A and B are shown apart, each in its own frame.
Chain A
């Protein structure tokens, strides 16, 4: 006869085995780019999806407010930022997390009905995930930028790049993303703060069909230049493939595997497989890192974005060993210390991904399957590579760094799992 504790441990063991199986069997493929309203039928006028766990206007940080007001003007719901702010204060906009709609978004992560979204199908499970297109660096909406230049670029993404990518992807069978990531890891990418290899390979993959489907040569040149000049173009794809991998892992009773980590600039939240869609939150922490000339830590906003889905699947800070150059960029130390981050993340994960290996670690796989029990037991929290936004709306990115997921999120989740399994 098994004791209660033995039964509980057996339940968790079997549930986590299934969770890891679903993670590793995933086959994310980029299949289309469509307006968000087509991908997410629930999106309506006045509805704004944002990064992180739920947050209302009153508790939103500066950049998030900047993005909300900017996107309201972009969608034509307000004539200017002042009116948009007044409408937001009156509760005129419906604010919801991306994660509730199969979507993710970097930094502020605002997603509204007319924005084009990348569509990724997980062919192993038949589910879909969505993410907006990366806008480039500097003054952009994901960092809270909202002036005319930001809105003009969003208009170009909506009217030119999005439809062109959709047409190019309609020729062919889509772009398999796991092999791209595997090669990116051998080219110095960790897929959060460095996407140079994957962005280049994606452009190489898409260019022939873009050339076949875009008739205007000047427009084609502009598209190729935009993708080719943005080293982080692949970031949004790394995120959406992560969402496509992790959504089917949710809801396995008893599983202690983390299925999402995300932050809204106010709170950090995690979801755990056995606990479904419930968020376990704690105040988000400040990133530590390096700043662009003219900016300092005094300008920084607390951490923000759905991009932590990248760490949730074993990339980003978990794959730092693959990207020693990133260690210097985010200011955590010498490039030779990069492998330490990956090894440490191995302390809080259940396995390694045999398809995503790191040459510098003798082809060990990236640490995969964050287990809340291991996080609470060791006190080691996930390392996240991140961009740093200015704390005031409308300014944009001011640096890059590293932030830790708050331990309290994992402690709360552990107590909830114990309650669910009847041992608390």
Chain B
């Protein structure tokens, strides 16, 4: 038997030795994308939030976003 055959195939789920953690066992850990007000509200409740300042290209304007797709790298 060659060694390569012992390797898990690509796409094969890796067996976990530990039990999956329940999301409800501890305080939530939050990454917030986009609207800062969502992060602000959670922060007010004492929840740790990592906020990512993101918005759709050209603020969602379809014509401009289409032009950007032709003009930008």
Residue ranges of A at the interface with B (Cβ–Cβ < 8 Å): 5, 8-9, 12-13, 256, 373, 376-379, 411, 414-415, 417-418, 421, 423-424
Residues in chain B near residue A421, CB distance under 8 A: 71
Instruction: Give 22 A-B contacts (CB < 8 Å), ordered by A residue.
Output: A5-B70, A9-B71, A13-B73, A376-B58, A376-B68, A377-B58, A377-B72, A379-B55, A411-B61, A414-B64, A414-B67, A414-B68, A414-B71, A415-B63, A415-B64, A415-B67, A418-B67, A418-B71, A421-B71, A423-B70, A423-B71, A424-B67
Nearest-Cβ distance from residue B5 to partner chain A, whole angstroms: 43
Residues in chain B near residue A376, CB distance under 8 A: 58, 64, 68
User: Is there contact, CB below 8 Å, between A9 and B72?
Assistant: yes
User: Main secondary structure on chain A at its contact with chain B?
Assistant: helix
Nearest-Cβ distance from residue A11 to partner chain B, whole angstroms: 10
Residues in chain B near residue A424, CB distance under 8 A: 67
Known contacts A376-B58, A377-B58, A379-B55; is-contact A8 B70 (Cβ 8 Å): yes
For residue B34, CB closer than 8 A to chain A, the reply is no
Q: Which residue of B lies closest to A13 (CB)?
A: B73
- For B71, give its contact among A8, A378, A379, A411 (CB under 8 Å): A8
The CA-CA distance from A423 to B61 in the complex, in Å, is 17
Nearest-Cβ distance from residue A332 to partner chain B, whole angstroms: 17
Nearest-Cβ distance from residue A99 to partner chain B, whole angstroms: 25
- For A411, give its contact among B64, B69, B70 (CB under 8 Å): B64
- For A379, give its contact among B58, B63, B67, B69 (CB under 8 Å): B58
Nearest-Cβ distance from residue B53 to partner chain A, whole angstroms: 9
Nearest-Cβ distance from residue B33 to partner chain A, whole angstroms: 15
Nearest-Cβ distance from residue B38 to partner chain A, whole angstroms: 18
Residues in chain A near residue B67, CB distance under 8 A: 414-415, 418, 423-424
Nearest-Cβ distance from residue A345 to partner chain B, whole angstroms: 14
For residue B59, CB closer than 8 A to chain A, the reply is yes
Residues in chain B near residue A373, CB distance under 8 A: 68, 71-72
User: Main secondary structure on chain B at its contact with chain A?
Assistant: helix
The CA-CA distance from A120 to B68 in the complex, in Å, is 37
Nearest-Cβ distance from residue A9 to partner chain B, whole angstroms: 6
- For A12, give its contact among B55, B58, B59, B71 (CB under 8 Å): B71
Residues in chain A near residue B63, CB distance under 8 A: 415
Residues in chain A near residue B70, CB distance under 8 A: 5, 8-9, 418, 423
**CB interface residues, B 43-73, toward A, < 8 Å:** 55, 57-59, 61, 63-64, 67-73
The CA-CA distance from A9 to B73 in the complex, in Å, is 6
The CA-CA distance from A373 to B70 in the complex, in Å, is 11
Q: Which residue of B lies closest to A422 (CB)?
A: B70
Q: Which residue of B lies closest to A414 (CB)?
A: B67
The CA-CA distance from A12 to B71 in the complex, in Å, is 8
The CA-CA distance from A418 to B57 in the complex, in Å, is 16
Most B CB contacts (10 A, CB to CB) among A9, A377, A421 go to A377
The CA-CA distance from A5 to B67 in the complex, in Å, is 10
Residues in chain A near residue B69, CB distance under 8 A: 5
Residues in chain B near residue A411, CB distance under 8 A: 58, 61, 64
The CA-CA distance from A411 to B69 in the complex, in Å, is 14
The CA-CA distance from A252 to B64 in the complex, in Å, is 22
Q: Which residue of A lies closest to B58 (CB)?
A: A376
The CA-CA distance from A375 to B72 in the complex, in Å, is 12
The CA-CA distance from A8 to B73 in the complex, in Å, is 10
The CA-CA distance from A417 to B67 in the complex, in Å, is 10
Most A CB contacts (10 A, CB to CB) among B57, B59, B68, B70 go to B70
Nearest-Cβ distance from residue B21 to partner chain A, whole angstroms: 35
The CA-CA distance from A379 to B68 in the complex, in Å, is 13
Given contacts A373-B68, A411-B64, A423-B67, could you give 6 more A-B pairs where the C-beta distance is less than 8 Å?
A8-B71, A13-B73, A373-B71, A411-B61, A414-B67, A415-B64
User: Is there contact, CB below 8 Å, between B57 and A377?
Assistant: yes
Nearest-Cβ distance from residue B61 to partner chain A, whole angstroms: 8
Residues in chain A near residue B58, CB distance under 8 A: 376-377, 379, 411
Nearest-Cβ distance from residue B55 to partner chain A, whole angstroms: 6
